[in-house]
Structure 1
């Protein structure tokens, strides 16, 4: 996806927000007409290869997260072009990325593609985990050092920030279980599933054609979390994917420790509700538990 020329972008950003914002809303309507809806109700494809995300919260954190990733890693993520807000929502304008969600393309990928996906993701996770913290060591927070948000905790309402893992774990089921202790706190995507990983066709060095990861999107919940967080969060939705890809997600995290104990504790939690978190029991727990019995 070609970058927007810097001189054109610079000139556009000089224009007052009260003009830019209605322009984006108009482009969103045009985009819906031209391209239809995307996989997320909050995200609209615009003309000129751009995307607009509209949220009531999270856009400032996502914008900062994308900046950190561009600064410290080679992980392919969208580039932030603008961030504006009205009385109801915040609008994040970004470049697009090549490819399509792995959730839609997974049946077209070969076993070799699947193994190369594992290798790529291990490299990307290593890089984002090396991003330096924005607060004190072991501080659990979003990328701005503020309260973090995850849909599995209190329906996504902000919590924290926390001084340490023990304080954070009080929001989990079995909060005093020693399994929820002793982890490094690292930069985390916090919603790493196959809908948020893009893949595209490539030509390998040996001349064969295949698929490779072309981008990772949807960083609004990212922050600094215990190191197991991306692993267990990704596997929570494993029942949505076929067995090959559920196993691939397990393999992605094996070099980092695998987090078998953490997964087992979450399995116990899934039978009690929708996740590892305190709340009203729901239907997902039994689905996920039954699925993981097959692995």
Structure 2
């Protein structure tokens, strides 16, 4: 299976200058990057992160790429190459690999990423997709979780909640927005919202040893959160606060830069300021003149 499938991949994969030697050799050879190199990896497993029996395999492959692209965007970086490892169930292994790769290749082509290598194995177990992605920051520093400063504005992209209704399989990777922001403003800290808006915001602020005073009425709630609320009995805000898999950006920057970003005609409509970084750790909201502590919620990995 592996030899014939690799021949198929070589015919399907785009050749981009970042990859000097790609699929078909013992290892890939990548051209040196300008600036800082950024590397991330994510694994998703059937029964934990997706349902191979009830969801499109192409959508699952697309998601596997998109979650890595979201991590690259959260670093303020540009993606270059991906290394894809599939662990395939014995039954219909070739067909499964081909269907998964349709989504992987679609996402890679959309964002100018080369599939530079990886591995295939067949075993008596669930479908597992592991992608390692390289990228770079040509000038300046990568965005980290640890750079938030007291007085910063907290800005988010997109809207939150209800992604389980389908958005989680084809998330928007905010690479273009990150590139525009890098040219426009100075982002002090960033993270992507994969496990829940409040949980990931709390993680970023904890890494920076600060907290947040939030204007919760400004948190953008997705229409899917309202639809999910009708089914779950939980409020749309609760879904936006904790559902996860939105893969939007959470960032801090100066108040002036936040206004500049929100006013930008290219990206401003997708940005919202939701609060301010404060010296007191934790998440807080102002309630009748006093501060009330909020509990971060989301998906905690076992």
- TM-score by length of structure 2 reads 0.33
